Amino acid sequence: MQIRFRPEAETELLDAVDWYEARARGLGAEFLRALDAVLSAIDRYPESYPIVFDNLRRAVLRRFPYSVIYTLADKEILIVACTHGARDPKRWQSRG
């Protein structure tokens, strides 16, 4: 399946990388590795993650308090948010 990011999700992702990298050199790269691992798992088993709102599913990154929120459409995985666990879910619920 093809993985595609909504612009808002891509912005959230880049903001998170910048934030972690500002805290410690290389931490942003570690965040990206954790993201890559969860995206690979989503690609392999897209329906294995729980539905958390309407048709949106959530996969949690290891080590980092972030989740990837996504939906399935035909042969595409659409990432609608890359969000910190403490943020209000209303920020991404309308994106699905």
pLDDT attached to residue 74: 84
Instruction: Give the pLDDT confidence score for residue 49 in this predicted structure.
Output: 97
- The yes-or-no verdict on residue 96 having pLDDT over 70 is no
Whether pLDDT at 26 is above 90: yes
Phi-psi region of 61 (alpha: psi -120 to 50; beta: other; left: phi over 0): beta
In one-letter notation, the amino acid at residue 54 is D
Question: How high is the pLDDT of residue 36?
Answer: 97
Are 28 and 18 a contacting pair, CB within 8 Å? Answer: yes
Classify strands 66-73 and 56-60 as parallel, antiparallel or unpaired. antiparallel
Domain range annotation of the chain: 2-93
Tell me, which fold does domain 2-93 have in CATH?
Answer: YaeB-like fold (3.30.2310)
